[in-house]
A and B are shown apart, each in its own frame.
Chain A
């Protein structure tokens, strides 16, 4: 029994290979999925990786949202399949309305690329259950459009429901409302975040260490534990 996670590659995706490597390293079986495919080929979960899908034309993620594979992802997410969006993947999930709000240009106008401390504010999601509640983790960020915005009612709802999954600590890198780095949907199977856990899984690449492994170990837990394997 091997839990498989489909990693979608759009034209302009960058972090699909690192994401597949991180999933494999956690004991999952990463499956490449092409954006033009209309089938998820029986995978148990989906990862929408970072990069610049369609060159970030129009808005980040706006065109990727209409790729054929996204209809499948949206349908599967609605049925409870774990879906993780990292960076551009988070932007795509917001554009797809799987997650509320939007990611806009960093307040500073600068592209930020640095190691960033985060606090795990919800360790009950499909992608964060291997962390401790309020655990602090060091994960790289690299984005120009990572400022999370939503109206006050949406932000209050996210806070009330505990759907802010990870929050920036030790400084807000992009002006995100309420220091939000990542959120989840109501059932916690869909998670999106700007930081890149897939770049923090191997001591070989030095700082920031291996704090990112938890995201991939978590989905293995939730697939194996819940009998969510197909």
Chain B
């Protein structure tokens, strides 16, 4: 089994009002010096067997097509091998 982890974040120039609300809540709860909070999504895709180049490319393509909207979001992708 191989796990593919895709992290999706709003692009830095896109306002993240949810992150801003969380930032305010952290401050209310006593955390000092919170300069910024950005909220994102994490996808864990577990695939049978090893991930050869072709399937890795397919996951990358689908991350850009479905998991992230490249107009407003960036994504990173990494493989985590499992037993």
A interface residue numbers (CB < 8 A to B):
58-59, 62, 66, 94-95, 100-102, 104-109, 147, 149-150, 175
Contact = CB atoms under 8 A, between A and B. Distances in A.
Contact of B18 (A62, A66, A102, A109): A109
B17 A102 contact: no
B66 A102 contact: no
B17 A149 contact: no
Contacts of B81: none
Given A104-B14, A104-B15, A95 B69 contact: yes
Contacts of A149: 14-15, 71-72
B51 interface: no
A102 B72 contact: yes
Given A58-B66, A62-B66, A109-B21, A102 B15 contact: no
B67 interface: yes
Contacts of B18: 105, 109
Interface string B3-45: 0000000100011011001000000000000000000000000
Q: For the complex of A and B, list the 8 residue pairs with the smallest distance between their C-beta atoms, beginning with the closest.
A: A102-B71, A102-B72, A109-B17, A105-B17, A107-B17, A102-B69, A109-B21, A59-B69
Interface string B43-72: 000000000000000000000001101011
Nearest to B10: A104
Nearest to B70: A102
Interface of B: 10, 14-15, 17-18, 21, 66-67, 69, 71-72
A165 B14 CA distance: 23
Nearest to A61: B69
17 contacts: A58-B66, A95-B69, A101-B71, A102-B71, A104-B14, A104-B72, A105-B17, A105-B18, A106-B17, A107-B15, A108-B17, A109-B17, A109-B18, A109-B21, A147-B15, A149-B14, A149-B72
A101 B18 CA distance: 20
A122 to B, nearest CB: 22
B71 A150 contact: yes
A109 B15 CA distance: 11
Q: Among the interface residues A102, A104, A107, which one has the most CB atoms of the partner chain B within 10 A?
A: A104
Contacts of A100: 71
A79 to B, nearest CB: 23
Contacts of A59: 69
Contact of B66 (A66, A109, A150): A66
Given A106-B17, A150-B71, 12 more contacts: A59-B69, A66-B66, A101-B71, A104-B10, A104-B14, A104-B15, A105-B18, A107-B17, A109-B21, A149-B15, A149-B72, A175-B15
Contacts of A105: 17-18
B71 to A, nearest CB: 4
A5 B68 CA distance: 32
